[in-house]
Amino acid sequence: MGNLDALVATAREARERAYCPYSGYAVGAAVLGADGVIYSGCNVENASYGLTVCAERTAIFAMVAAGCRSIREVVVATQDSGTPCGACRQVMSEFIESPEDVLVHCVDDSGGIRSLRFSELLPHAFRLGRDRG
């Protein structure tokens, strides 16, 4: 299986674990780290709605918690190939070294795929520099 196929399969599997009783909108994400490992996440909602965490951030935080700080490629799986929200784009930006080279693929239920460079998804990203402790 190629990288992209494996990422899509992982994002779709993660989507099945989404906890979304309030919105009913399930999201799965798969992030390929610079370490070659695929990290996955799903959205996790809460009765206090604002505490909900998106699938993309769940996956990125799993990557960082495992010791990897660089994103190579991302897949987001939804019913309608929805693109990542603004908050998740900002969090991705923190861990993307070369925005032109990182692709974000948004896939739907029926095989549709929308692929964007991260630089298209979040132009003029807010950055404080590379010294990230």
- Chain residues that interact with ligand THU, rule: CB under 6 A: 20, 23, 25, 27, 43, 45, 52, 54-56, 84-85, 88
| Shortest CB 54 distance to ligand THU, Å | 3
Minimum CB distance to ligand THU smaller for 52 or for 93? 52
CB of 56 to ligand THU, least distance (A): 5
| Angle between the N-to-C axes of helices 55-65 and 86-94, in degrees from 0 to 180, rounded to the nearest 10 | 20
Helix (H, G, I), strand (E, B) or coil at 113: strand
Local structure of 13: helix, strand or coil: helix
- Which residues are annotated as catalytic? 56
Judged by beta carbon, residue 122 or residue 131, the one nearer ligand THU is 122
Query: Which residues lie closer than 8 Å to 53 by C-beta, 6 or more apart?
Result: 43, 44
Please, what is the Cα angle at 31 between 59 and 14, to 5 degrees? 55
Q: Which is nearer to ligand THU, 60 or 88 (CB)?
A: 88
